[in-house]
Amino acid sequence: MKPLYFLSCFSLLFVLLAFQSQVSAQAVADPPSLNVYKTMGTITLDGQLTEPDWYMATGQHHLMFKMDGVPSGYSNTPTAGVIVKPPYTDISTCYVTFLRNGYDLYIALNSNDAQVCRYDWEGDGMFMKIKDAAAANEYEIKNYVGVVGGAGQFVFETNAPSGVTEGAAYPIPPTTIYDSSDVDAGYTAETVIHLDQLGFANPLATITLMIVIFDPDNYSFGVPFGGPNGNYYKQWWGSEWGGVYRELIMVDATVPVELTSFTTQYVGNTTQLNWTTASELNNLGFDVQRSTDGYDFVTIGFVLGKGTTTEIQNYSYVDKTTSPNINYAYRLKQIDFNGSYNYSEVINLGESNPLNFELLQNYPNPFNPATTISIGLPVKSDITLDVYNIVGERVLSLYNGELAAGNYNYTVDASNLTSGIYIYVLNAVGEDGKNSTLSRKMTLLK
């Protein structure tokens, strides 16, 4: 059962990564730097990425290595790539995510590669270089497919001093390394770098490095890499072998709850708020906050969170304390168990629904040739809004149909009318059975 458990964890993580790419987050090609958030729990270095922190890390900016990949959501694409041996047909995707815990920098690989193998010495996985705190030395780190005892398997290699870095990888069943006759399920891998062993005296340092992802395909063990079989593509963030680097910025914040949607709407004389999270980590809950100017917010309620979960969660809250004809804005304050918090976007709803049917005086008045008529509906209603001349003849029909509760503006174009006094009339029948007929006068001066 254990392999099935890890397969399901990988599948969920890869689905979450794909889902993230639909979220608006201003991903770019070749970002010069990425933030690295701290973990809430312990990372076990087994290459299997089963910790909730890794699920949450997909909700922040990371790297997506894929030939011709397009930045989207939180998935930034690397600097460049090259087809080393054509034809490259297995368009794999490898997501690279980052976390930190104290002085430990964690790097995760999550690949759906259908052919896990090796081209010469460059096997599926990661090759990277990292500089020490003084930028006086740089070290190579490789977490990739190698050969041990005449058999293909993942290996971890480095020229860094002992104690600087370790790593592990996990071929996802039924992956068989170096077997080009089957279709593999991909692999996951983890690398940890102990930054204090590289001379860093501040855990919130900026790290200089470059990363290459190798993706050879369709090679069998013992077959020369220059032969007719196989193909190979690789990509890098920074440079292929060094000289050009990128940065990871260690930040003193945990990965926030991943809020995927937040909507608000007036419903009668209340406000309905709905929001959804794709995953949560140590989420205590949400303060619901409201403002009448879009700047100063007050908390009007609290909704309990789900703690830690990788399942989609739906939340709602009804604000029953709104006043009519007030401009309201809402936001959420997500709070962790340790007291840290993050704010959602601000949604400006505009003017709240009136308590009663309203027909406001047109503006400007007198007018020539256009003016605006405003109406307010406390509930969803069937309405007609018409303009009559002084003898009771209808000369304009501005609206005839059903409208949701709210406030509406209509423009009157009187270009074809003569000067004089006109009467505009609102007839409304609400879904609650109440009805109203309201009228006002306006003056057209040409």
**Tens digit of each residue's pLDDT (9 = 90 or more) over 216-273:** 998 887 777 666 778 999 999 999 999 999 999 999 877 667 788 999 999 888 999 9
In this prediction, residues 354-380 reach a mean pLDDT of 93
CA distances from 279 to 71, 99, 314, 333, 344 (A): 22, 16, 11, 16, 15
| Residue-level pLDDT at 59 | 72
Residue 22 clears pLDDT 50, i.e. is over it: no
Q: How confident is the model at residue 103 (pLDDT cuts 50, 70, 90)?
A: very high
Is pLDDT larger for residue 220 or for residue 36?
36
| Residue-level pLDDT at 29 | 96
Query: Using H for helix, E for strand and C for coil, what is the string for 305-327?
Result: EEEEECCCEEEEEEECCCCCCCE
| Residue-level pLDDT at 24 | 39
Average per-residue pLDDT in the chain?
89
In this prediction, residues 31-47 reach a mean pLDDT of 93
Is pLDDT larger for residue 245 or for residue 119?
245
Residue 15 clears pLDDT 50, i.e. is over it: no
| Residue-level pLDDT at 226 | 64
Lowest-pLDDT range, 32-36, 307-311, 367-371?
Answer: 307-311
Residue 5 clears pLDDT 50, i.e. is over it: no
Residue 2 clears pLDDT 60, i.e. is over it: no
Percentage with pLDDT > 90 across the chain: 69
Residue 11 clears pLDDT 50, i.e. is over it: no
pLDDT digits (tens, 9 = 90+) for 381-440: 999 999 999 999 999 999 999 998 888 999 999 999 999 999 999 999 999 888 999 999
Is pLDDT larger for residue 56 or for residue 349?
349
| Residue-level pLDDT at 149 | 87
Is pLDDT larger for residue 23 or for residue 89?
89
Nearest to 64 by CA among 52, 54, 79: 79
Q: How confident is the model at residue 278 (pLDDT cuts 50, 70, 90)?
A: confident
| Residue-level pLDDT at 13 | 44
Q: Which domains does the chain have, with CATH numbers?
A: 2-254 (2.60.40.1190), 258-351 (2.60.40.10), 358-444 (2.60.40.2550)
- CB 63 within 8 Å of CB 77: yes
- What gap in Å lies between CA 371 and CA 360, rounded to an integer? 12
344-347, long-range: CB < 8 A, 24+ apart = 344/259, 344/262, 344/275, 345/262, 346/291, 346/294, 347/262, 347/263, 347/264
Q: How confident is the model at residue 20 (pLDDT cuts 50, 70, 90)?
A: very low
| Residue-level pLDDT at 256 | 66
| Residue-level pLDDT at 159 | 97
pLDDT digits (tens, 9 = 90+) for 291-345: 998 889 999 999 999 988 878 899 999 999 999 889 999 999 999 888 888 888 8
Give the other-Cβ count within 10 Å of 22's Cβ. 10
- CB 94 within 8 Å of CB 17: no
Q: How confident is the model at residue 21 (pLDDT cuts 50, 70, 90)?
A: very low
In the beta sheet, which residues pair with residue 347? Answer: 330
User: By three-state DSSP, how is residue 389 classified?
Assistant: coil
| Residue-level pLDDT at 14 | 47
Nearest to 170 by CA among 95, 130, 104, 110: 110
